[in-house]
Structure 1
Amino acid sequence: MPATAAEIRTQSSPLAGLLGACHPLPAAAVTLLTAVLALAVGRPLPGAALAVAAVAAGQLSVGWCNDRVDLRRDLATGRTDKPLVAGTVTPRAVAAAALGALLLCVPLSLAAGPRAGAVHLAGVAAAWAYNLRLKSTTASWLPYALGFGLLPAFITLPLPGHPWPPPWLTAAAALLGAGAHFANVLPDIEGDRATGVRGLPQRLGVRRSAALGALLVLGSTAALVVGPPGPVSPYGWALLAVTLAPLLLAGRRLGGRFPFHATLAVAGADVALLVAELR
């Protein structure tokens, strides 16, 4: 039997509630991706650490903002898995944490240089725009595509010569971000509809959103496999084939967070391929 809000409140500390409200799994995944990419492209350790700190601050601000903005809808749908609904952390504390992380993100981002900093802050601004308005429009996918698509540029622009990432890498990141949006929303589509959230996945419905999300993630892997110059490695072909398995399962197992976790697994395999190609 699920725990009641009162039981969760007595078992959790405010700090644990604050941590749970930041969407820790996706925040950690994006931050880890940043660290791997920064080291793979040859960023010096101090610069790589600053980039990781900037992305971590941005992700924390976005996660806390999301839970605070969604509080009314989460209460309406009985989301006792959310710390704000369970009462383990106060709305004021989450709002303050979101703004504090956002303020910290600005100097950390600009420490990478004005162009790189502006690129990262544009991605963070897109994520905040999603939370505050765009999640209920047909453009709900756009902040994800923009935020993920700009991340490689934040990593490469501080390098000597200030190079932009190759188009295939930007495309792969943007497709992955858009696919992650569809996969992440799937379990909540019915509740979102009931509370007035009408983003693109909610308008398409569960089955079509699952199929589109799977295709977007597959397209991301394909861009990484065939985009770089030269012959495709055996690992690349194997990854492209293996990617089909979790995505097909994601399309069948529509309940729970399996589609989103499958997307994260594919993203990890994609990063391994990218690191191998950059070495």
Structure 2
Amino acid sequence: MARHPRPVEKFDQPVTPAETGARSDRPSVPGFWSWRKVRAYVSLTHPVPIAIVMIATAAFAAIFAEGLPPFRLAATLLLAMLGGQLAIGALNELVDVELDAASKPWKPIPSGAVSRFGARMIAACGLGMAALFGASLGVAALLLLFVGTGLGLAYDLWLKRTPWSWLPYVLALPLLPIWVRTVVIGFDARLLLLYPLGLGAGAAIHLAQALPDCESDRAAGLRNPVSRLGERRSL
């Protein structure tokens, strides 16, 4: 018995370019949560520096607690720090979007993987996290957290492209153990003596982080220490 050809259904027909463009404009939930977008949002926040800060925070907490601190205290401490770091990283990408569009078009916002609105939401949620969890750590700890986060935001907004770009690093680096000690035990003014030691370490960390952007910063006319010193002197 001969088989009759099956009628061609609409979904069997080839998709025209016009239809493809029309479909791509429609919101797609699976597409929105694609791994590409997830990776882009993670990259937006500068995950490697965040991981280093989080590990250092946990290590200082263990040192000052002389062992494992209470779980709830440790979780609150880490979440407060994470919120501030997320805000700093997202704002950094927002401020640099025009420069990155010319020199690093593959980055999350210039590539279109992350919208400016999405980056603003990450920054706002990060600040909300820092305020929410930091408030439960006490007034002194909350104020120190705001100072540290404020230094990072000031770097993003004003100091990054100036000869003073090293200053937030020098001030914020010794502030981390001071803040953790305040949360775990209480404030100790003697820890302010860490600032002379933090001067060299903070400046070195700043130079190391800014070194990969030396050429693009010079091309954009930035006046930060790395672009003025050059790669060889910075090393």
Sort the TM-score into its range (normalised by shorter chain): 0.7 to 0.9
Cα distance in structure 1, aligned partners of 2:186 and 2:57:
20
Is 1:187 the equivalent of 2:212?
A: yes
Shift of 1:176: 2.8
List aligned pairs for 1:95-244, cutoff 5 A: 95-164=120-189, 166-167=191-192, 169-210=194-235
- 1:36 alignment partner, one of 59, 78, 83: 59
Matched residue, 1:56: 82
Matched residue, 2:10: none
Cα distance in structure 2, aligned partners of 1:164 and 1:47:
22
- 1:25 alignment partner, one of 25, 48, 51: 48
Query: TM-score with structure 2 length normalisation?
Result: 0.78
Instruction: Give the unaligned 5+ runs of structure 1.
Output: 1-10, 211-279
Cα distance in structure 1, aligned partners of 2:56 and 2:207:
20
Query: TM-score with structure 1 length normalisation?
Result: 0.66
Shift of 1:49: 1.7
Shift of 1:174: 5.0
Shift of 1:168: 5.1
Matched residue, 1:14: 37
Secondary structure in structure 2 of the residue aligned to 1:140: coil
Shift of 1:172: 4.0
- 1:69 alignment partner, one of 92, 95, 106: 95
Matched residue, 2:118: 93
Letter in 2 for 1:62: I
Matched residue, 1:248: none
Change in CA separation of 1:21 and 1:76 when aligned onto 2, cut-off 3 Å = same
Kindly name which structure, 1 or 2, has the bigger radius of gyration based on alpha carbons: 2
List aligned pairs for 1:243-258, cutoff 5 A: none
Cα distance in structure 2, aligned partners of 1:49 and 1:67:
27
Shift of 1:145: 1.4
Shift of 1:158: 2.8
Letter in 2 for 1:32: I
Letter in 1 for 2:41: L
Letter in 2 for 1:101: G
Letter in 1 for 2:232: R
Cα distance in structure 1, aligned partners of 2:191 and 2:171:
16
Alpha-carbon RMSD = 2.1
Instruction: Give the unaligned 5+ runs of structure 2.
Output: 1-33
Matched residue, 2:22: none
Shift of 1:201: 1.8
Cα distance in structure 2, aligned partners of 1:79 and 1:197:
18
Would you say how many aligned residue pairs link Structure 1 and Structure 2?
200
Q: Give deviations 1:132-178, integer Å, cap 9, x for gaps.
A: 11011111001111121211111111344532453454444454332
Change in CA separation of 1:46 and 1:95 when aligned onto 2, cut-off 3 Å = same
Change in CA separation of 1:134 and 1:108 when aligned onto 2, cut-off 3 Å = same
Percentage of identical aligned residues:
33
Change in CA separation of 1:164 and 1:155 when aligned onto 2, cut-off 3 Å = farther
